[in-house]
Structures are given as structure tokens and as C-alpha cells.
Amino acid sequence: MATKDDYTNTILTTGVIGPFINGSASSTGVIETNGDSDWFKVSLTAGKVYEFLVDTGVPGASIGLRDEFGNDTANYHPYGPDGFFYSPTISGKYHVFANDDDEYSFRYTISVNTLQKENFIGGRTYVLNDVTRSVSVLQLSSSIELK
């Protein structure tokens, strides 16, 4: 008997992350088979900085972001329990997804957090929209538009 997929890997997914409460939202799901990808709709606001995390407890999991039409927006990386930062230039619906290319079946939690200036630590390196930036206190107020 085939395993039923909990969330599809299309823009027609029933998965939703939100509403944001105190700047955070999350959802859980299951990667049922090798190559499974679960998509979730999420509303993002232009100019805000978001942190995307996937927590799985297994190696090989990836997280990524697509626009409302399903096109790649942020390159996904196999960060395991880590993730990436993204600041949209257009407000609207996006799709965040978790997937696995290894032969694992596992539960996961995807978290999306709205970040403020106080969330960034001067002297650390961050990747924002696929651009690596070393953040200083001065940069927080000028080159990275945090709202």
C-alpha cells in the first residue's frame, strides 16, 4: 500500500505557515519517501528580513523558498537544523519547502521568523538573499534594510 503524502510539492499545496505570532510561525510535516518535497504557503512583506529554519534530526534535509508561481526565489541548501535569511523585494505569497534526497522518512518542523535589528550580532557573517555579508553595527542601520 502506497504511503499518502501529507503536503504536495506544488503551488496548490494545502500547507500553510502562519499567522505570525510575536514574529514567528511554524508548521510540521513528514517526509514519507526518498525525494519527497512538502510545500507550505507563507505571506511575506517586502523589506522585512526573515529567517527560515528546518529541524529534522537527520542529515540530508533541505529547505528552500519559491515565489507565488513556484519559481526558485532563494537557493536551498542542505543546512540540516539550520536555514537561511531572506528579504523579499515584493510583498505577497511565497512557498517554503522541505525535502530530502536521502533514503530517510522523518518528521520535521519548518519555522519562519521575522528578524529585527536586535536579532543580528555585529561581527558575525550572514547570508542574505544569497549574498554573504559581515554585519557591523553601522551596517545594520544602512546596508541591510531591517524594519
Tell me, what DSSP letter sits at residue 15?
-
Q: What is the pLDDT of residue 138?
A: 34
Which is nearest to 31 in space by CA: 110, 86, 87?
Answer: 110
How does pLDDT run across 57-80, given as a tens digit for each residue?
A: 777 678 889 999 999 886 555 444
**This prediction's pTM:** 0.77
The answer, yes or no, to whether residue 50 has pLDDT greater than 80, is yes
* CATH number of the domain bearing residue 69: 2.60.120.380
Rounded to 5°, the CA angle 90-37-129 comes to 30
List of residues 6+ apart from 17 with CB closer than 8 A? 25, 26, 27, 40, 41, 42, 96, 110, 112
Q: How much of the chain, in percent, has pLDDT values that exceed 90?
A: 29
147 located within any domain: no
Give the whole-angstrom CA distance, residue 76 versus residue 61.
10
Residue 105 or residue 129, greater confidence: 105
114 located within any domain: yes
pLDDT band at residue 91, thresholds of 50, 70 and 90?
very high
Rounded to 5°, the CA angle 51-83-109 comes to 90
33 located within any domain: yes
Domain that holds residue 86: 24-118
